[in-house]
Chain A
Amino acid sequence: MAGHGLNPSTGSRTPVATYLDDLGTKLPGPRRHRSQILVELRDGLDVATDAHLAAGMTTERAQAAAVAQFGSPQEVADAFAGELTTTYARRVVATYIATGPLVGIWWLLLLHPNPWQTGPIAIIAAIPVLPLIAIAIVVAGGTLATTGRLMRWLPETSPRGAAAATMAVAGVSVAADLTMIGLVTVSATTSALLAIVAVATSVTRIACSTAVLHQATRMSRYRHAE
């Protein structure tokens, strides 16, 4: 098996270890996904090194040849940027769709305890951000559809497009949460406990959305290989 890490004779970093360290700092996006990519590439580099060793090269030369074959860390990071951005965007919008009801249910219970008797107009009057939420759901659903299995039939959304959609969903979410918090502070509520829970869930989501806006902005600015 091809070695990596430290060279046993010189104690210095091996070409493969240096290469992966460099690539690790250049890949954009969440740490977990980056480390998964590095594990996969390390295996590829090891297989390539083994092939060069079998051809009679020294370990150092075999590793250097494998690294040269893989392309420069910047080139590989650029090639991965789009995929990392799209994967990040998909995960974030899916999380918004999955956790949205966990926030919305408290506001629904707080501001409109009897939604089944009064109909949709009364619900929108009580929770004016519902149309905004509907737009966010459509954007999120559209992003998931055009970056996943339905890509076979639908036009694919570009990584920049996916990042923009993520920012739009996060932005709408912040606007909706701030509006609802503002609304509850000026209106009389029936349950202080429900109000606290509703505000707390919205504040938590605002904090998460702020982090998402920051990360998505960084990723959309990365130079994506076309």
Chain B
Amino acid sequence: MLPMRPELLKGHLDALLLAVLEHGPRHGYAVIETLRTDSGGALDLPTGTVYPALHRLERAGLIASNWETVGGRRRRGYHLTPAGEAVLGEQRAVWDQFATAVTAVLARRPWPATA
């Protein structure tokens, strides 16, 4: 598999994180691990650099977090808010449109026959 350049992810990371949290609440590390495993290892960002994206989504009100203590460790869990669900729906529609358009142009087509 060709390595995925981080800048390719730019602009899509928000939707990807929202999509991971659509399956239910998760703590930060679990969100990032799910992103890695669900993408078959292609979306392999340095774990520590993904946390700020989660914090930004919380600031925007698209996800919410709560602190709990698990096995003596302080843990921050995240869950999707109704606004987050709505934005995820919008982002999915935008992506479908974009992917269809790009695929239509990039797809290999047979050489056009000349008349």
Report which A residues bind B (CB closer than 8 A).
1, 23, 37, 39-44, 46-48, 69-72, 75-76, 79-80, 82-83, 86-87, 90, 147-149, 151-152, 225
Contacts and interface: CB of A to CB of B under 8 A. Distances in A.
A70 B49 CA distance: 7
A152 to B, nearest CB: 6
Q: Determine the main DSSP class of A at the interface with B.
A: helix
Interface stretch (B17-25, B50-58, B95-103, B104-112): B50-58
A163 to B, nearest CB: 15
Contacts of B60: 148-149, 151-152
| Chain B contact residues: helix, strand, loop or mixed | helix
Contacts of A41: 48, 51
A1 B49 contact: no
Given A47-B27, A83-B56, A147-B59, 16 more contacts: A39-B74, A40-B75, A43-B76, A44-B28, A44-B29, A48-B29, A70-B46, A70-B47, A76-B49, A80-B52, A83-B59, A86-B59, A148-B59, A149-B83, A151-B60, A152-B60
A79 B52 contact: yes
A148 B51 contact: no
Nearest to A2: B73
25 contacts: A1-B73, A23-B48, A41-B48, A42-B73, A43-B74, A43-B76, A44-B27, A44-B29, A44-B32, A46-B73, A47-B30, A48-B29, A69-B47, A71-B47, A76-B49, A79-B51, A80-B52, A83-B55, A86-B59, A90-B59, A147-B59, A148-B60, A149-B60, A152-B61, A152-B83
